[in-house]
Amino acid sequence: MKLLTLFAVLSVTLSLTESLMVCYYGSWAVYRQGDGKFDVEDIDPGICTHLVFGFAGLGHDNRIRVLDPWNELCDNYGKCAFDRFTALKQKNKDLITLLAVGGWNEGSAKYSNMAKSAANRKIFIDSSVELLKAHNFDGLDMDWEYPTQRGGAPEDKANFVILLRELKEALHANGMILTAAVSAGKATIDAAYDIPGVAEHLDLMNLMAYDLHGAWDDYTHHQSGLYAHPMDTGDNVYLNQDFAVNYWIDGGMPSTKITLGVPLYGRCWSLSSEAEHGYYAPATQPGRPGPYTNTPGFMGYNEICVKIKEEGWTVVVEPGCNEPYAYYMPYGRIWCSYDDHDSVAIKAAYAKEKNLAGMMVWSIETDDFHGKCYNRDFDLIKTLVETFTGADIGTPVPRPTTTPDPNKPTTTPHTTPNTPPPEGVCQKPGINADPSNCHHYWLCSPNTSGSYDAVEEPCAPDTLFNPLTLICDWDYTVCALENVCVNDCP
């Protein structure tokens, strides 16, 4: 049995020595409207080596938690998204599917509490392995954002390494791998990560080299510049991909364990003046939201490229820079920094030159998956793959379609007991906003009596629930929307 387990781990980790394309999937995109809606079956399983389902969460009982049971599980007439996601391996025999736990909206305090105790860590690890096995995932992506930060504790830096070590041992024993998404900001890296310790226990590290600037700044800048801008001074000289890659490598992370993250979205501002529209232009408000993502200060690439094509936005690549920005005064003086076909190719060539493991994207559902802008779907991801590998993407070899065994037992993760929801809160299965309180939301599941059971989910500090995008987001972002969360915004 030990030999079989060794072969199972080897078969998964062998792919880590090849050119990698790690694609995160934000599962809430299934709730978007029109051409922005993106479900599991919209994923092309032939263009990514690793698919990461975002996200699972952490319960206050230290067990891993399913955050949207109606969408992700099969119970109570659910949509079985976990099982459909891992079933994509039937179409690509080499595909690796991972479940990400954490993410920005989860905050840090719960993870800090879990990691500080051996007993708490064991509960989390055992429940994670149980959930992964039940739904045929190939491993776990640890996305704690971030140790020691956002309600964490100083001892998180050491405890994170212990957690990774114990996770790796448990996952490898079950033929699975361990990856993690980590920060690219120097201040966070210094505070949160013992780089040699993290390097020792991860099979792969996904470097989130984006969100380096955004509407939290009162000036425009690129959120994912490959190199520093000529005008950068002070700490801004650290906020670029090249610095982050070198800082991790110099700190002890092998280059061959790093995938370089590229955003498939833009960060947007509303310019204070039409006269200033370059880098460092005054901009104290987030840009208007896009039609699909409905988030001020944020637009998917699929939204930006269509706006440029149909409305004639001005596109600029400044001398000495590789990435574009676009602005359009009639659309609320909007200014967006983003990546396009040319800039992602430059970043993939850079990653190959640095001997990195490959590329990573957040996230697949905001690529131009309908092919409206470059006449082929998923152009940014395909460009990353083709540039990094030097070859066109081939057609994957399909696995034989299998029929699930009806006699195979399934495992349902432990969740907070369901409670009757307040009158009128559950309008549909899945995620529902509370019309009178944006500090939380409700997960609603149909029951046998023809009504709903519900679980209350709080949003992390400094966030509010956005009823348009159905996620907890920065409070200032949600409050920038019209007629949303009026009782909870200043």
Supply the residues annotated as catalytic.
Answer: 145
Residues belonging to the chain: 490
Q: Give φ, ψ of 435 to 5 degrees.
A: -65, -15
**Residue of 383, 269, 358, 448 whose CA lies nearest to 19:** 358
Q: Which of 338, 334, 240, 289 is nearest to 473 (CA)?
A: 289
Quick one: DSSP state of residue 439?
A: T
CA distance 127 to 249: 33
What is the C-alpha to C-alpha distance for residues 83 and 124, in angstroms, rounded to an integer?
Answer: 21
444 has which bridge partners? 430, 454
Asked if 218 contacts 282 with a C-beta cutoff of 8 angstroms, the reply is yes
> How far is 23 from 17, CA to CA, in rounded Å?
17
- CA dist 415 and 413 (Å) reads 6
By the 8 A CB rule, do 335 and 268 touch? yes
Scored b (16 or more CB within 10 A) or e, 324-362 reads bbbbbeebbbbbbbbbbbebbbebbebbbeeebbbbbbb
| Residue type present at position 296 | P
Maximum Cα–Cα distance for the chain, whole Å?
70
CA angle 354, 359, 362 (to 5 degrees): 140
Q: 296, exposed or middle or buried, with CB in 10 Å at 0-12, 13-18, 19+?
A: buried
344 vs 135: CA distance, rounded Å? 33
The interaxial angle of helices 341-353 and 241-251, nearest 10 deg, is 20
> What are the C-alpha distances in Å from 362 to residues 16, 67, 211, 238?
19, 19, 11, 21
Evaluate whether 106 touches 100 at the Cβ level (below 8 Å).
no
Residue holding tokens 């399934």?
410
